[in-house]
């Protein structure tokens, strides 16, 4: 079976321009594959490059070397060499992403923020808001907040909007970067249920989870990022 997502010998480093152009090696030979209907967890201590892997897949970070192959609209696309236009289409139709932080346009309501990815795929705005409302109810977000901009919310409330926004579509691949970090136990349980539902519907999920109990519930496999660490002496 062709993987939904496959990384082949991916390398990443950063150049610190404000520190004299210092070259900081981060990752080397990142290689793994992700199948539909499964959840893989990136594990390892902070600073080993877990979030960098997700950001390379989502196109936030460039790829220094290697391939990131994704099944996009019945063809295989290498995200390492994709054009900006191709990446926009991949984000719209193929790869969803729940980041650690919610970035929103000022004065846009929480309901519209969560509904926007569906609207971008062509769903009627009224129907998209209705689906967002269902997710808000499941995530125990008070209805009095729905018409307010999320910039006024607490961290946990913002994260619930972020989760609703990420889970509202049917992207075949979903990236999760610490989705439960700001949540209480009840809402962590809601998120694990949402992940289970996505897996049952065939979504391929790649995630980072701080909570060991959550990892144990959702993970089908683990990729220890320490095996991909790249140190300066070997750069």
- Domain membership of residue 2 (yes or no) is no
The pLDDT, as a whole number, for residue 224 is 95
Domain assignment present for 174:
yes
If one counts the domains in the chain, the total is: 1
C-alpha R_g of the chain: 18
Task: With beta carbons less than 8 A apart as the criterion, state whether 90 and 57 touch.
Answer: no
pLDDT band per the 50, 70, 90 thresholds, residue 93: very high
The pLDDT tens digits for 185-202 are 999 999 999 999 999 999
Residue 182 has what pLDDT?
85
**Predicted confidence (pLDDT) per residue in 142-190, tens digit:** 999 999 999 889 999 999 999 999 999 999 999 999 999 889 999 999 9
Is residue 71 in a domain? no
CATH number of the domain that residue 159 is part of:
3.40.50.300
Q: What is the pTM of this model?
A: 0.92
State the pLDDT confidence band at 231, using cuts at 50, 70 and 90. Answer: low
Count of C-beta atoms within a 10 Å radius of residue 228: 26
What are 31-67's pLDDT values in tens digits?
A: 999 999 999 999 998 888 999 999 999 999 999 999 9
Position 25 in a domain: no
Return d(Cα 230, Cα 118) in angstroms, integer. 39
State the residue for tokens 């610190």: 16
Beta strands in the chain (DSSP E): 5-16, 22-34, 39-43, 65-72, 75-78, 95-98, 173-177, 204-208, 221-224
Is residue 231 situated within a structural domain?
no
In tens, the pLDDT along 211-226 reads 999 999 999 999 999 9
- Triad 175, 176, 178: Cα angle to 5°: 155
- Structural domain for 146, as ranges: 34-62+83-223
Identify whether 78 is part of a domain. Answer: no
Residue 211 within a domain:
yes
17 domain residue, yes or no: no
Cα 73 to Cα 35: distance, rounded to the nearest angstrom: 16
């Amino acid at each position: 079976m062709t993987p939904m997502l496959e990384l082949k010998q991916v390398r990443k480093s950063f150049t610190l321009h404000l520190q004299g152009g210092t070259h900081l090696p981060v990752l080397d030979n990142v290689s793994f594959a992700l199948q539909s209907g499964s959840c893989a967890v990136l594990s390892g201590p902070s600073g080993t490059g877990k979030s960098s892997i997700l950001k390379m897949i989502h196109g936030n970070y460039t790829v220094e070397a290697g391939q990131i192959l994704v099944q996009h609209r019945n063809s295989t696309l290498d995200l390492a060499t994709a054009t900006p236009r191709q990446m926009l289409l991949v984000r719209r139709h193929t790869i969803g992403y729940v980041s650690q932080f919610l970035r929103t346009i000022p004065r846009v309501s929480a309901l519209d923020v969560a509904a926007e990815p569906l609207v971008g795929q062509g769903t009627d705005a009224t129907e998209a808001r209705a689906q967002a409302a269902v997710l808000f109810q499941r995530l125990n977000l008070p209805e009095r907040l729905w018409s307010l901009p999320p910039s006024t919310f607490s961290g946990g409330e913002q994260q619930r909007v972020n989760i609703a926004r990420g889970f509202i579509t049917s992207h075949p691949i979903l990236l999760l970067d610490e989705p439960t970090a700001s949540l209480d136990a009840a809402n962590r349980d809601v998120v694990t249920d949402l992940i289970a539902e996505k897996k049952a519907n065939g979504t391929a999920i790649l995630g980072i989870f701080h909570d060991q109990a959550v990892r144990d519930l959702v993970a089908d496999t683990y990729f220890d990022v320490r095996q991909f660490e790249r140190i300066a002496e070997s750069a």
